[in-house]
Structure 1
Amino acid sequence: MTDILSVTFPFFALVLCGYVAARVRLLPLDAVPGLNMFVLYFALPCMLYRFGSGTPLWQLFNPVVALLWLMCALLIVTGVAWHARRRGAGWPDAAMGALVAAFPNSGFMGVPLILALLGQGGVGPVMGTLIIDLVVTTSLCIGLSQWGAADEHGAARAVARALKGMLRNPMPWSILLGAAAGALGLQLWAPLGKTVQLLADAASPVALFTIGAVLARSQFQMVAQADGGHSPRDVGAIAFTKLLVHPALVWGLGTLAVRGGWLAEAMLPPLVLAAALPAAGNVSLLAERFGADNGRIARVILWSTAVAFFSFSAVVALVR
């Protein structure tokens, strides 16, 4: 366990540093969006481009991995949304609760963390799952959030808005451009390549620090809104689903795929670890945009990130 903590502890420690810095206002809350933009539009795309260019196409676009991940996401989304609707939640809350339970923080945290744990061979499947979550799972849940809209075309318009947002998201484009460059054997102009390398090297520490700052800002916003309409049991159940049910489901279906000869055994551990990551922070922004209870979603993200230090390390010990 010590060797596992030697890898996972620095990652979560950086998240804690960002949280404390924003919590005590050493980092002004107004600076958090700018920090987030630097990671999302500069550092992280360069890191994903580098990994995409150095990863075999069969790892990035493995149809079995895509189908397995999508099946698990659909099961999580269906189960969490159905449970929320039974408890009287509206479609926006049911859909965003389902999304935060199915969408791990693969971009900001997963790729660098799983690279440190499993090496380059674990990166390809994780980036493949990231594309599925950004394009399919997110669009599905956004459409579901507008299912009960008065306008009969509300869901379709919401999906269209989601797809437009996806087209503006640099992460999938960075992976695709990197994969194309690697497949064609293209090399960046040396000065440009060095710039990309510097930004890519900054992605992991700054992204982790930013996660903590975003969590602290979300907590301040929750207090300001005085939101108390949802019980902690609901938040805890969704966080439990994200951290334990999701990876168990991926492990179960993935094991069947390995035994059936459809999936290489080496590709299963990175998929399980990706599913064991805490919830993605951008779901909070989507919840606010599409009329869900943002405080509830922010609590799930905060709780899942805090508990993941222990649960993720336990999953690593099981799958390695």
Structure 2
Amino acid sequence: MLQILFITFPFFALVLCGYLAARRRLLSLDAIPGLNSFVLFFALPCMLYRFGSTTPLAQLLDGGVFFTWLLCALLMVGFTVAVSLNQRIRWNDASFGALVAAFPNTGFMGVPLLVALLGAQAAGPIIVTIMVDMVITSSLCIALSRLDGADEHGFAHAAENALKGMLFNPMPWSILLGAVASAVSLTLPKPVMQTIGLLADAASPVALFTIGAVLARSQMLAAAHHHAPIPLRDYLPVAAIKLLLHPLLVLLLGSAAVALGLPLNPFALTVMVLVAALPSASNVSLLAERFGADNGRIARIILVSTAAAFFTFSLAVTLLT
């Protein structure tokens, strides 16, 4: 356990550094979008391209990982929405709560952390889960959020926004380009690969630092708007669902698939369970703000899951590896 903590501690310490920098105003809140853009449009796509181009195509097209992860995501979204809906939490808030329960922080945290723990062979299953969450899970939750009529343009407009978000998100494209490079054994010129490598190496520290800054900013903006105190029952159960139920569900369904002889590699299953044990994706806070959900609630779920994951994720790694 102690050896696992030695590996995971620096990753969570960088998140804490970003959080404290924003809270103490050492980092201007206006600078956070710039950090986010650097990670989203430059560093992380280069990291994903590098992994995609060096990963065998069969791993990137792993149907066992794809369908197992997709089924778990659908169950997570349905269950979280069902237990969240009440007089205070309607479809809009319940749907984004479901998204933080089903969408791990795979891009910013999971890729560097799990590759450090399990080796480069973990990249294939991770990339498959990223594609499912960015393309299907996010689009589904955005569409569900429109069901209570919070947007006058309705379902069609939500679907259009979800499609635009997918098309203009550089991460799926970088994964696709990496897969194409892997399929045709394409090797880019050395100066280009060195540039990609420099940006890819910057992805981990800057992304983790940015997670902390984004969490601090969400918390500070929610406080500045003088929201009424959010009851613990509105966000603590969702954080628990993310950190406990999600990895357990993936483990149970994945183990059942393996026992039934379905094409799911045990190592890939281990990677998937650890991905599910990650805290909630920090970018959901930005989506919640854009679509008018209670961003204070979403930010608290992300913050609680990120803080608690230092212990729960380390425990999951100890039990599975």
TM-score (norm: length of structure 1): 0.97
- Residues 319 and 214 of structure 1, relative CA distance in 2, 3 Å threshold: same
2:290 maps to 289
The answer to whether the aligner puts 1:232 opposite 2:232 as a matched pair is: yes
Distance 1:291 1:150 in 2: 8
Map 1:1-320 → 2, pairs under 5 A:
1-149=1-149, 154-228=154-228, 230-262=230-262, 263-320=264-321
Q: Alignment partner of 1:187: what SS?
A: coil
AA in 2 matched with 1:131: M
Count residues in correspondence: 320
AA in 1 matched with 2:243: L
AA in 1 matched with 2:249: L
Q: Alignment partner of 1:138: what SS?
A: helix
AA in 2 matched with 1:302: L
- Residues 216 and 150 of structure 1, relative CA distance in 2, 3 Å threshold: closer
Q: What's the CA shift string for 1:97-122, capped at 9, x where partnerless?
A: 11111000000000110001110111
Mean Cα displacement is larger for which, 32-41 or 57-66? 57-66
Report deviation, 1:130. Answer: 0.4
- Residues 45 and 85 of structure 1, relative CA distance in 2, 3 Å threshold: same
**Residue ranges of structure 1 left out of the alignment (5+ in a row):** none
AA in 1 matched with 2:292: G
Report deviation, 1:92. Answer: 0.5
Distance 1:229 1:74 in 2: 31
CA contact (8 A) 2:68 2:254 kept: yes
Q: What's the CA shift string for 1:76-99, capped at 9, x where partnerless?
A: 111111112245522101111111
Q: Alignment partner of 1:230: what SS?
A: coil
AA in 1 matched with 2:268: M
Report deviation, 1:228. Answer: 2.5
Distance 2:86 2:301 in 1: 19
- Residues 86 and 122 of structure 1, relative CA distance in 2, 3 Å threshold: same
Distance 1:290 1:222 in 2: 15
- Residues 175 and 142 of structure 1, relative CA distance in 2, 3 Å threshold: same
Distance 2:129 2:46 in 1: 18
Report deviation, 1:150. Answer: 7.5
Distance 1:44 1:37 in 2: 10
Report deviation, 1:163. Answer: 1.0
Distance 1:117 1:131 in 2: 21
Distance 1:250 1:151 in 2: 33
TM-score (norm: length of structure 2): 0.97
How large is the Cα RMSD of the aligned pairs? 1.3
Distance 2:77 2:177 in 1: 30
CA contact (8 A) 2:104 2:279 kept: yes
Q: What's the CA shift string for 1:221-273, capped at 9, x where partnerless?
A: 11101222631122100000001100000000011111122111111110000
